[in-house]
Structure 1
Amino acid sequence: MEWDNGTVQAPGLPPTTCVYSEDFKRLLLPPVYSVVLVTGLPLNFCIIVQICASRRALTRTAVYTLNLALADLLYACSLPLLIYNYAQGDHWPFGDLACRLVRFLFYANLHGSILFLTCISFQRYLGICHPLALWHKRGGRRAAWMVCGAVWLIVTAQCLPTAVFAATGIQRNRTVCYDLSPPTLAIRYLPYGMALTVIGFLLPFTALLACYCRLARRLCRQDGPAGPVAQERRGKAARMAVVVAAVFVISFLPFHVTKTAYLAVRSTPGVTCPVLEAFAAAYKGTRPFASANSVLDPILFYFTQQKYRRRPHELIQKLTAKWQRKKGG
């Protein structure tokens, strides 16, 4: 670990002179972000094209999925800057505005994905547990678009402070782009960071678990509708419940646990630099899991939507048949 002697630590405050030796980021983050970029970008683009092409038969779940794919696509477009940054040893040459924008897009995608997945899960819960109720059918797609507009407003309001706190700085004679905030603003960032975790992750996660507990009880009951259509709906709901829960556990839970621990430690007076570095490494090591939701979301979509899963296969068959006819002619 190195020390930055250009800053001064105030008495009774957490240390601001620590400069972490984070060589693992050069080895870990560029390859992971590259995989997310080359897979997430085309997958989410294909989902947007497919849903827009079938807009006449658009369901409310499809509306939420479209907005989820849009959030993932916007985040994937920011990854080239991060790939270059970490490949160059945490050197940020793109300026302060780009730094703030990239950090904002990451957290907007993260919390937007959480809320849109929660909306999809709640819609599936209503379809299974309250299939005949009229109160949740009013408005149709228009109501879904209004919910999506509200989600974007909430996410923007939640994540806009990240663009305020994020900034560039100088460490080891090079410009860096701070993820959360500069070390001198650690204590000021703590209340916002904790509130973002509670409001942007813990509350939606609790709501999702409540929906899936009710959904599981309903699926396990034997007095529901019978027949192949009802069984298909039950199986579809069960698959979505399992996959969405897996996305939350894999992508979101480790990131928020380590982030919360790091925020608490770096704002605590008397913590030594090696301890800070260990918690920082644990937190930054889970960032790839959070970024992976841009790939897991479209996989979730194709896994649970059979009609869309068939379309790429049908398109490939048509193109293959057309190419064979030309070759035969």
Structure 2
Amino acid sequence: MGKDSCTYHEEFKQILLPVVYSVVFVLGLPLNFIVIAQIWLSRKSLTRTTIYMLNLAVADLLYVCSLPLLIYNYSQKDYWPFGDFTCRFVRFQFYTNLHGSILFLTCISIQRYLGICHPLSTWHKKRGKGFTWMVCGVVWFLVVAQCLPTFVFAATGIQRNRTVCYDLSPPDRSASYFPYGITLTVTGFLIPFVSILGCYCCMTKILCQKDEMIGLAVRKKKDKAIRMIVIVVLVFAISFFPFHLTKTLYLIIRSIPEVPCLTRQAFAIVYKCTRPFASMNSVLDPILFYFTQRKFRESTRHLLDKVSSKWKHDS
């Protein structure tokens, strides 16, 4: 069977993807909106970390808003009625959110690393909010530049007499997509991931020292840093690492013409099973904000107490 005539049987997508995307939409929309609202209300006391968190929440919210189209698409047996441009744009949104989240989490990790491992650094202290906003602008520029080729490769096509929206590229463009797909994985995932690992290794050495061996300022940040490490590792373990591993394997397999159709289909299924979980970072990122921002936890607890007391009073 020729490479282009290999048609995958992916009925599992009609159940798995609408369910996971619906959960992400129902949870991610209010959670990210609350994070943005909370940061906006306290904008006079913004820290460098909350600026990165704000940009992270904006990226997540923009992506979550595109999910209803994908939920409809997969619940209708992979039927895409929304046109070619919308297909390309939705795929662009997915990868922009994915790699934007990775880079902003990298920025947050580096920020925390400098605070823990170099608390007395004058270079770090002199870089204020203006510098942080500039870094965010550079991140957005890099993410958009990295993901723009998605508009070229992602497209609609016809399978089984139905219009579909290809995620990576149409089958006949597999060979030309391969260099871009691998480059995106290296620059958009592997390099940031190695940077985060380096930061966390250095932070762990400091955080594992006895309290009397470290300064008071660092000791105050210890619990907050540990929570951040745990949650970011969780985000990578659930969302980013499985997706990029299976995507890379699938790209390699589908770029080899001699590979049998059934083998390509097997790798495609494994990859597409991890793809919806890559969107779970839109739910996990607000949890990172909640557990690393004490002021936000306290205001949320205060609000819940007010609602609870009002409920009891009305009853």
Residue 206 of structure 2 corresponds to residue 224 of structure 1: no
Give 1:225's aligned amino acid.
G
2:93 corresponding residue in structure 1: 105
Which of 125, 132, 143 pairs up with 2:131?
143
Taking the aligned partners of 1:307 and 1:247, their CA distance within structure 2 comes to 23
Which of 125, 140, 153 pairs up with 1:165?
153
Question: Is residue 119–residue 218 contact of structure 2 (8 Å, CA) maintained in 1?
Answer: no
Deviations 1:115-165 (A, max 9, x none): 000000110011111111110122311111100000000000000101210
Taking the aligned partners of 1:249 and 1:205, their CA distance within structure 2 comes to 11
SS at match of 2:149: helix
- Once the 2 structures are TM-superposed, how far is the Cα of residue 322 of structure 1 from its aligned partner? 5.7
Question: Is residue 116–residue 218 contact of structure 2 (8 Å, CA) maintained in 1?
Answer: no
Residue 177 of structure 2 corresponds to residue 194 of structure 1: no
Deviates most, 300-309 or 185-194: 300-309
SS at match of 1:169: strand
1:28 corresponding residue in structure 2: 16
Which of 266, 272, 275 pairs up with 1:284?
272
Taking the aligned partners of 1:279 and 1:77, their CA distance within structure 2 comes to 29
Give 1:81's aligned amino acid.
L
Give 2:186's aligned amino acid.
V
Gaps of 5+ in 1: 4-8, 10-14
Residue 57 of structure 2 corresponds to residue 69 of structure 1: yes
Which of 270, 290, 306 pairs up with 1:302?
290
Taking the aligned partners of 1:167 and 1:207, their CA distance within structure 2 comes to 33
| Residue identity (%) | 63
Deviates most, 299-308 or 123-132: 299-308
Gaps of 5+ in 2: none
1:118 corresponding residue in structure 2: 106
Deviations 1:33-88 (A, max 9, x none): 00000000000000000001101110000000000000000000000000000000
Taking the aligned partners of 1:179 and 1:321, their CA distance within structure 2 comes to 49
Residue correspondence of structure 1 range 216-295 to structure 2 within 5 A? 216-222=204-210, 223-226=213-216, 230-295=218-283
- Once the 2 structures are TM-superposed, how far is the Cα of residue 232 of structure 1 from its aligned partner? 3.3
Which of 30, 55, 64 pairs up with 2:43?
55
Give 1:238's aligned amino acid.
I
Give 1:218's aligned amino acid.
I
Taking the aligned partners of 1:209 and 1:324, their CA distance within structure 2 comes to 48
- Once the 2 structures are TM-superposed, how far is the Cα of residue 239 of structure 1 from its aligned partner? 1.4
RMSD (CA atoms): 1.5
- Once the 2 structures are TM-superposed, how far is the Cα of residue 230 of structure 1 from its aligned partner? 4.3
Give 1:95's aligned amino acid.
G
SS at match of 1:84: helix
Moved over 4 A (4+): 319-325
Taking the aligned partners of 2:295 and 2:74, their CA distance within structure 1 comes to 40
Q: Which has the larger radius of gyration?
A: 1
Question: Is residue 20–residue 277 contact of structure 2 (8 Å, CA) maintained in 1?
Answer: no
Higher percent of residues as helix: 2
TM-score, length-normalised on structure 2? 0.96
> How many residues are aligned here?
313
Taking the aligned partners of 1:219 and 1:138, their CA distance within structure 2 comes to 24
SS at match of 1:170: strand
TM-score, length-normalised on structure 1? 0.92
